[in-house]
Amino acid sequence: MAQLPILRYPDPRLHTVARPVADVNERIRQLVDDLIETMYANEGVGLAATQVDVHERVIVMDTSEAHDQPLVLINPEIIERSAELALGEEGCLSVPTIYDKVERHARVTVRALGRDGQPFELQAEGLTSVCVQHEMDHLLGKVFVEYLSNLKRDRIRTKMIKKTRDEQRG
């Protein structure tokens, strides 16, 4: 298991479109385990492979109360979306300290492969629904700040560039 470095917005690699996983093999299982470790280490409830500069369709999530029930979604696809929308507070490990409201489908049904390579379906609502839509955006190269106004996004971009520069200076 290893903690992986998380790309920081506005790193252009965050806008890469991930390719489908061809074979759920040992390399993919190792990636899944590293994503789970990295997610917990950063107190996230989700993490997409895109965020660690691996551009394959893999997501991990854990929206459980005790943060002890990791969910693995390989080649996820949303097969149903509710007409009902919901406004929810979002953050992102690639955009630290920034939180803002984004409108999402209130409920979604997702079909994916698990860590064992077997297909399953997940009916998600609440935080799980928000998180899976947020992570699937990552696999399409989209970061949640792109739903915000140009003014907000420009201010966030400037803040992230300064934060990264200050951290590099130590």
Q: Tell me which residues touch Zn ion (CB under 5 A).
A: 92
Per-residue string for binding with ligand K2U, 70-109, x by CB under 6 A? --------------------xxxxx---------------
* Closest approach of Zn ion to the CB of residue 170, in Å: 26
Q: Is 44 in the site for ligand K2U (CB under 6 A)?
A: yes
Instruction: Specify the pairing of strand 58-61 against strand 46-48.
Output: antiparallel
Distance CA 64, CA 87 (A): 21
Which helix (H) or strand (E) covers residue 26, if one does? Answer: helix 26-41
CB neighbourhood size of 73 (10 A): 26
Distance CA 109, CA 128 (A): 11
* Closest approach of ligand K2U to the CB of residue 1, in Å: 19
Q: Which stretch binds ligand K2U (CB under 6 A): 17-25, 46-54, 77-85, 153-161?
A: 46-54
User: Residues with catalytic annotation?
Assistant: 135
- Which of residues 36, 47, 58, 132 is near ligand K2U by CB under 6 A? 47
* Closest approach of ligand K2U to the CB of residue 127, in Å: 6
Q: Which stretch binds ligand K2U (CB under 6 A): 11-19, 30-38, 72-80, 125-133?
A: 125-133
69: left (phi over 0), alpha (psi -120 to 50) or beta: beta
* Closest approach of ligand K2U to the CB of residue 4, in Å: 13
Distance CA 3, CA 41 (A): 7
Strand order from edge to edge, sheet including 107-113: 46-48, 58-61, 71-81, 107-113, 119-125
Query: Which residue ranges make up the site for ligand K2U (CB under 6 A)?
Result: 44-48, 90-94, 127, 130-131, 134-135, 138
